[in-house]
Structure 1
């Protein structure tokens, strides 16, 4: 992933939709998954994915990273 953005600390606390759009603009080669609280998900790394963990208000709770 040389030269490609792999994390977005600036999106911590941002609304989910604009955050997902920003990641898609920066990295059109990865899928963005938006996960509300208590959503089930498979653990593990995937270099073609970014997960957005959001709260009940739709705000990003953790720094989004590729994997």
Structure 2
């Protein structure tokens, strides 16, 4: 695993892996961000937050795999 990257804004390589290791990777790369783990399809308030990353998983999948590219916002 590479070192922290303060400019990183997306993690496409995390799609398809379990949410917990995905959160750990994001926290490693950008420890100042808040990571939210949410089920895909949940109703959310819109708006960009530069201090947040949302990790979406498919609630029908018992493995809790990341189903969308996590991005800052």
For Structure 1 versus Structure 2, the TM-score category normalised by the shorter chain is: 0.7 to 0.9
Matches for 1:1-67 after TM superposition, within 5 Å: 4-56=7-59, 57=61, 58-67=64-73
TM-score (norm 1): 0.87
- How large is the Cα RMSD of the aligned pairs? 1.2
TM-score (norm 2): 0.80
Unaligned runs of 5+ in 2: 1-5
Q: Which entry has the higher C-alpha Rg, 1 or 2?
A: 2
1:15-44 deviation per Cα after TM superposition (whole angstroms, max 9, x unaligned) = 000001100010001000000134332111
Unaligned runs of 5+ in 1: none
